Chains A and B, each alone.
Chain A
């Protein structure tokens, strides 16, 4: 497995392998059910949860409506506080900006805070091409990086790995990246954490450049905010001399007070904690304290396209809590890799096709990777109606056509015609009923249905015939 998602097969095919991998399914089932139950308890503690959810939704919607203004305000505030703001229209531009900034420091190593935006643009690979090593310092990201693997969850990127697998990765791979794993490493979580701590400490103390994303950017003050659990992020945010943050433009909130809502909803939705252990906030630079140079790279990369879509834009409210992944029955069985993007699960299924378009096979298949059960919408702390957006994106995919969809469209048109001509529909039903003795319950060609399910037996007569005979 390599670190990128290029050339992924469509979701159904990728999911098929995951469904058959019983270790993976066991890992995922255990992990998602544990965190889903904890989240439900943490949320139930707040009487005003529904109001907080509504407030979060409105703050984000209002901000998105005037995003241009808020971004300019943000740029002003960050600049006034001693930072430098860069605008990146796409992944290539963002990678180029960051690469140039790192090269200007003369360094060839950077430490990274866990960040979805930098994964989205493939920053590590771009830096590697420039001869710069980027070290992931979040424990789960470290596991993914050492394992030459891909993240499969927004919050817990190594959710698909169990303890024994992690031990093997540390034992075999740490030496190639820096300090080796201690002799006789066990799969006891405390031992694994200690091995990671020792391995990472060396990197924190050496690094001169840190790279992060951010959960929020406050326009009025120019403050960036990172929520995390381990404290490794704070090391990267405070020890290096230069800090570069790559942040999607939709992470803006207008005022400091807006954070009040998300400080409550994000930790409870993501790690089921009342408050996350580390909330780091920084505003530009401060003399003699922390990084003396700060760069903010504002990333578009498809976001303004999503913003232009009046149904799809609600996906930009996402605060990346991953609650929707943890309740999703499809994610639980297909795993994160099947989604072919750093954004897996329900949010990935609506965000990826908007950021990347639907020209590739995998991206066009994502809006269909859902039974529309609505569990994601129910838990989303910013009330993104994910099923609504999925159906909306299906319409876009279907409209564009493509071989499978042309046939499907013809079938749908035919079905609508029949349904709009009750006489034709009734005749069809009657014919099916009369010939029912001839219908096998596992007919050839119906494989997608009948590999694991039998078809129902057809009745002797449709309902409308019973009605005609008995009630008219």
Chain B
């Protein structure tokens, strides 16, 4: 099987290790991975801040770049949610504004082919045991977009439970938002930080050494607080945990 990786702009620039782990993990599972170089950003920051028109060129670009791939896989729940929920909306509104059906067509074609990484592993490849080994205690933060918009449900948990050596600890208040919310973190810094600090307190209380998530934007925010507080746990993307094996362990 051949898939296109949509690495996302945040992972490309700040968290390449997550992109690399996604590539190597998929290859280990027998999937051929392509990285169409014309890809950039799904447009979520623009759209969610109220700049729908500024988002449209990125919708067009994303549609064009991933044309012809049956599966587009991305290690970012919120970017999938952006494409699934908002691309059709952007298309509908453009059509309603008398600007034709081009954007709606992009959405119609792209939406059914886009998968968040854990969705792709569990639903398309049908695996939960990816042969990983990670001898740490881990707690999982589900992220709002994964939890509520994508309905990832227990997929990440099933993948983590199958990892050898990994002990999963329940995160109290797991379903509560960490307070990132894109520009919310900057426009409402006090509330955002208060939410993040509560999330960190709950994570620390689990006694885990790793806080795992499937969305690096949330992990950047939570990780920033962990780092500032010198907390005894680190934030790590699920792809990096799933890549770790006995032969090549992630440290």
Contact = CB atoms under 8 A, between A and B. Distances in A.
A453 B16 contact: no
A452 interface: yes
Contacts, number: 188
Contacts of A463: 7, 11-13, 16, 19-20
A367 B187 CA distance: 11
B225 A453 contact: yes
B197 A462 contact: no
A462 B46 contact: no
Nearest to B40: A419
B206 interface: no
Contacts of A420: 40, 57-58, 61
A372 interface: yes
Interface string B144-172: 11001100000000000000000000000
A408 interface: yes
Nearest to B8: A463
Interface residues of B, number: 67
B13 to A, nearest CB: 5
Contacts of B50: 367, 391, 393-399
Contact of A425 (B9, B48, B148, B224): B9
A371 B58 contact: no
Interface stretch (A44-52, A206-214, A329-337): A329-337
A415 B45 contact: yes
B193 A451 contact: yes
A12 B187 contact: yes
Nearest to B20: A466
Interface string A421-439: 0100100010011000000
Nearest to B193: A452
B52 interface: yes
Given A375-B148, A412-B49, A451 B189 contact: yes
A452 B184 contact: no
B23 interface: yes
A371 B196 contact: no
A376 B179 CA distance: 15
B13 A378 contact: no
A171 to B, nearest CB: 33
Given A12-B189, A416-B58, A370 B224 contact: no
A308 interface: no
Given A329-B177, A422-B37, A451-B193, A466 B16 contact: yes
B2 interface: no
A29 to B, nearest CB: 9
A456 interface: yes
A369 interface: yes
Contacts of B61: 419-420
Interface residues of A, number: 64
Contacts of B191: 12, 15, 19, 330, 333-334, 369
A388 B14 contact: no
B221 A453 contact: yes
Contact of B54 (A15, A394, A413): A413
B58 A372 contact: no
Given A333-B195, A371-B195, A420-B61, A461 B177 contact: no
Contacts of B127: none
A459 interface: yes
Contacts of A449: 185-186, 189, 224
Interface in B6-52: 7, 9, 11-17, 19-20, 23, 33, 35, 37-41, 43, 45-52
Interface string A442-460: 0000011101111110110
B194 interface: yes
Interface in B61-88: 61
A415 B190 contact: no
Contact of B55 (A388, A393, A416, A453): A416
A420 B46 CA distance: 13
A433 B46 CA distance: 24
B201 interface: no
A464 B34 CA distance: 12
Contact of B190 (A15, A429, A464): A15
A213 B20 CA distance: 60
A453 B193 contact: yes
Contacts of B12: 429, 462-464
B9 A371 contact: no
Contact of B41 (A397, A419, A432): A419
B202 interface: no
A163 interface: no
B120 interface: no
Contacts of A368: 183-184, 187-188
Contact of A459 (B7, B16, B35, B179): B16
B133 interface: no
A329 B38 CA distance: 38
B195 to A, nearest CB: 5
Nearest to A371: B181
B184 A412 contact: no
A418 to B, nearest CB: 8
A416 B57 contact: yes
Interface string A351-387: 0000000000000000111111111011000000000
Interface in B117-160: 144-145, 148-149
Give the one of A16, A372, A418, A448 with max B CB within 10 A. A372
B224 A455 contact: yes
Nearest to B34: A471
Given A329-B177, A375-B177, A409 B51 contact: yes
A454 B179 contact: no
A369 B20 contact: no
10 contacts: A12-B190, A373-B181, A378-B148, A398-B49, A398-B50, A399-B50, A448-B185, A449-B186, A461-B16, A463-B12
Closest 8 CB pairs of A and B: A371-B181, A394-B50, A453-B224, A373-B177, A463-B16, A398-B50, A452-B193, A463-B19
Given A416-B51, A416-B55, A452-B197, 13 more contacts: A16-B190, A19-B194, A25-B194, A368-B187, A372-B184, A373-B181, A412-B54, A415-B46, A416-B43, A416-B58, A419-B9, A458-B14, A463-B16
Interface of B: 7, 9, 11-17, 19-20, 23, 33, 35, 37-41, 43, 45-52, 54-55, 57-58, 61, 89, 144-145, 148-149, 175-177, 179-197, 220-221, 223-225, 227-228
